[in-house]
Amino acid sequence: MKVYDCLLKDLKAAYAKSGNKVAVSYSSWPRYSKRAYVSDTHGGRFVQNYANKKGRAYGAFENAGTFPAGTALAKDSFAVSGKGKVTAGPLFIMEKMRAGFNSESGDWRYTMVMPNGSVFGTTKGKGAGNVEFCIGCHISVAPDQDSVMLLPEEYRVR
C-alpha cells in the first residue's frame, strides 16, 4: 500500500517524540506483514506488524511459543476516511517483561503512543488504566499464543 510508504517517515518522527525506545527504533526491525491491513481490534485502523530481534519467533506465528523477556512487538497505524483522507493513528507496543512484572498481563507491558508523540498509557505506568483494555483482549489468546494476536494469514511475510 503506497499510502503507508508515504506516511511512514511522518509516523516515525511523531512517535519518536514520545522518547519511548521502541517508538524510536521499531521501524528498523523486521516487518512481518506484507502490507498494511485493517485490524478491527485496533479501532479498524490499517496496521503493520514489527518485532525486535528477541521477538523474531513472531515470524513463526502459531508456532512461536512463549516469547523471552526483552521481546518487543509494535504496530503502527493509520486510518483512511470514506472521502480518502489519511490520518496517522497510534503506535501499539507490547514488551515482554521479566517474570513477575504483571501476572494479569502474562508479564507483557502495553504502551500506546499517540500520533502527536504523547503516551496515552503504559501498563504499570502513567495512564495505566487507559491500556487495561489491551490486557483484556490479548489475554484471550494467552495460553496458546502467549497473549500475542496473530495477523491474518494472507498478510503474513513468510
Question: Within a domain: residue 64?
Answer: yes
Question: Within a domain: residue 74?
Answer: yes
Looking at the chain, how many residues does it have? Answer: 158
Q: So what's the pLDDT on residue 2?
A: 86
Backbone φ and ψ of 37, nearest 5°? -140, 160
Q: So what's the pLDDT on residue 150?
A: 92
Q: So what's the pLDDT on residue 143?
A: 85
Q: Residue 140 belongs to a domain with what CATH number?
A: 3.50.70
Cell of 23: 517508538
Q: Total domain count for the chain? A: 1
The enclosing H or E element of 110 equals strand 108-113
Each residue's pLDDT, cut to its tens digit, for the chain (158 residues) gives 689 999 999 999 999 999 999 999 999 999 999 999 999 999 999 999 999 999 999 999 999 999 999 999 999 999 999 999 999 999 999 999 999 999 999 999 999 999 999 999 999 999 999 999 999 999 999 889 999 999 999 999 98
Q: So what's the pLDDT on residue 1?
A: 63
Q: So what's the pLDDT on residue 38?
A: 96
Strand, helix or coil at 94?
Answer: strand
Question: Within a domain: residue 158?
Answer: no
Strand, helix or coil at 78?
Answer: strand
Question: Within a domain: residue 17?
Answer: yes
Q: So what's the pLDDT on residue 158?
A: 82
Question: Within a domain: residue 122?
Answer: yes
Cα–Cα dist 138/132, whole Å: 10
Question: Within a domain: residue 157?
Answer: no
Question: Within a domain: residue 128?
Answer: yes
Q: Which domain holds residue 60?
A: 2-152
